[in-house]
Structure 1
Amino acid sequence: MTRVKVCGFTREVDLAAAVAAGVDAVGLIAGVTVETPREIGLADASRLAATVPPLVSTVLVTMPDDAGEARRRIERVRPDAVQLHGLDPADVAALADAPADVIAAVDPTDPDLDAYAGAADALLVDSIDDAGGGGTGETHDWERTREIVTSLDVPVILAGGLTPENVATAVERVDPFAVDVASGVEREGGVKDHDAVGRFVERATRARIAP
């Protein structure tokens, strides 16, 4: 069954609703260099992470300058995993002993995919913008991502433009380890639509993988 991560929480009430809906992971965006209504401070990320019950993973989504800064942010927030945007494969590899699983955010056309796959615990394949951030709300070539899933020996998380309306089709075509959504389940920037979150989780987890 495909796992589900919902990203970009700013309010505890939304996070609790997502947990009740059955998400596997929640993403907290802190320390990024792009404009987003979903960014919170590291202190708030730590506070929200502490409210997440056992068996639901917390993911710090961040854009550090280097591995050292990433490590300091991990120690501050204490997430189960860190999702890194903008670091090269060498910096990602330098976090192999960090107290969190390491997810590298990549564009499906990135020429360093093999290097990232060797350095990270998982890849998040997203529609990356020029500034290196995801969360664009735009889909990318799912057939290319399916090729990545089948060719690389690392869990692949599909992100980019997913909604309750298209997530089942995305799962059927790509067969990812997990799917990730932010703006696709929001009423407004940074505020989740609880009904949309529930529909997204249900449709993602019930989708059948195409042969």
Structure 2
Amino acid sequence: MTRTKLCGITSASDRDAAVAAGADALGFVVDVPVETPRELTATDAATLVADVPPFVTTVLVTMPETPDDAATLVEEVNTDVVQVHGLDPAAVSDLAASTDARVVAATDLAGDHAAYAAAADAVLVDSTDADGAGGTGETHDWTRTRELVETLDVPVVLAGGLTPENVAEAVGTVGPFAVDVASGIEATPGEKDHDAMAAFVSATRGGEP
């Protein structure tokens, strides 16, 4: 079964609605050098994470300057997983050696996927902007991501431009371990549409290849 990560959670009501929708993982954005309505302080993220129920995975999403910065932030926010953008494979490997959290390396179709796969527990393939950040709301070539699913020996997470309307097709085309959505389930930037979250999870499960 393809898993779902609902990302950019900023409030207790959105967190609880994501859990009720059946999300497998929740993403909390902290310490990113780009303007985004989804960013939280580490303190606020830790407060939201503390009340996520058992069996729902919590994910810190960050763009750290160094692996040590990311490891310190994981301890502060206390998530199960850290998803890092902007680090090269060597830095991702250093991070994996310095934290007990599972590490997801985010990259795009131009990234060194084999090197990231060797360094991390999973690879997330996203549509990124000029700064290397995700959350663009743009899709990419899913057939190329399918090739990564078939060749990499770690789980591949599909992100970028996913919505309740297209996620079933994406899952059927790519066959990813998980799908990741942020802007595609929002009522306004940074605020989730609770019906859209439920529809996204349902559509993901209906799109099994």
TM-score by length of 1: 0.97
Rounded Cα–Cα distance in structure 2 between residues aligned with 1:142 and 1:96: 28
Q: Name the count of aligned residue pairs.
A: 208
AA aligned opposite 1:2 = T
CA contact (8 A) 1:117 1:154 kept: yes
CA contact (8 A) 2:60 2:79 kept: yes
Aligned pair 1:132/2:129, yes or no?
no
Aligned pair 1:64/2:64, yes or no?
yes
Rounded Cα–Cα distance in structure 2 between residues aligned with 1:192 and 1:96: 31
Identify which range, 200-209 or 55-64, moves more after superposition: 200-209
Rounded Cα–Cα distance in structure 1 between residues aligned with 2:47 and 2:13: 13
Matches within 5 A, 1:20-39: 20-39=20-39
Rounded Cα–Cα distance in structure 2 between residues aligned with 1:69 and 1:137: 27
Q: Give 5+ residue unaligned stretches, structure 1.
A: none
Shift in Å, 1:208 = 2.7
CA contact (8 A) 2:108 2:125 kept: yes
Task: Say which SS state the counterpart of residue 60 (structure 1) adopts.
Answer: strand
AA aligned opposite 1:64 = P
- Counterpart residue number, 2:160: 160
Rounded Cα–Cα distance in structure 2 between residues aligned with 1:51 and 1:189: 23
Shift in Å, 1:207 = 1.2
- Counterpart residue number, 2:46: 46
CA contact (8 A) 1:74 1:99 kept: no
Task: Say which SS state the counterpart of residue 204 (structure 1) adopts.
Answer: helix
Identity %: 60
After superposition, the C-alpha distances for 1:81-139 in whole angstroms (9 at most, x for unaligned) are 000000111110012231200000010121x1111000000011000111010000000
- Counterpart residue number, 2:109: 108
CA contact (8 A) 1:127 1:159 kept: yes
Task: Say which SS state the counterpart of residue 172 (structure 1) adopts.
Answer: helix
Aligned pair 1:3/2:7, yes or no?
no
- Counterpart residue number, 1:188: 188
Identify which range, 39-48 or 90-99, moves more after superposition: 90-99
Runs of 4+ with >4 A deviation: none
After superposition, the C-alpha distances for 1:5-63 in whole angstroms (9 at most, x for unaligned) are 00001110011001011000000000001111100101111111101000000000001
- Counterpart residue number, 1:86: 86
Rounded Cα–Cα distance in structure 1 between residues aligned with 2:156 and 2:205: 16
CA contact (8 A) 2:37 2:189 kept: yes
